[in-house]
Amino acid sequence: MPNRTNAPEKLTPTSATKKIILVAEDDEGIGTMLADFISDETSYAVFLVTNGRRALQVVQQVKPSLFLLDYRSRPVVEMEASETDSH
């Protein structure tokens, strides 16, 4: 059985006793494939989120050991644009 879950709405540092890998992919099929592969091949808990805003919330709450991000995700692109404009 895969050790993958969609990231719950409420997370606390004690939500996972294992190290966490966060997969952020807006294409749910690709995200599921990646998360399932990682779950099958490692002992890490894998959280899957399908948008950049949720990924940022999860990162702040659980501090994953590894964060795989679809950098073309719309909220990420918007953040990069706003950071560039502020410089």
**Cβ-Cβ contacts under 8 Å for 47 (sequence gap 6 or more):** 4, 5, 6, 7, 16, 20, 21, 22, 23, 35, 58, 62, 64
Under 8 Å between Cβ of 69 and 24: yes
Give the pTM.
0.67
Task: Name the average pLDDT for the chain.
Answer: 75
Place of tokens 């002992």: 43
Give the domain ranges of the chain. 4-85
- List the CATH code of the domain at 4-85: 3.40.50.2300
Give the separation between CA 83 and CA 16, rounded to whole angstroms. 32
In the chain (87 residues long), the average pLDDT of successive 10-residue segments reads 56 60 90 92 90 82 86 58 49
Of 69, 83, 16, the residue nearest 46 (C-alpha): 16
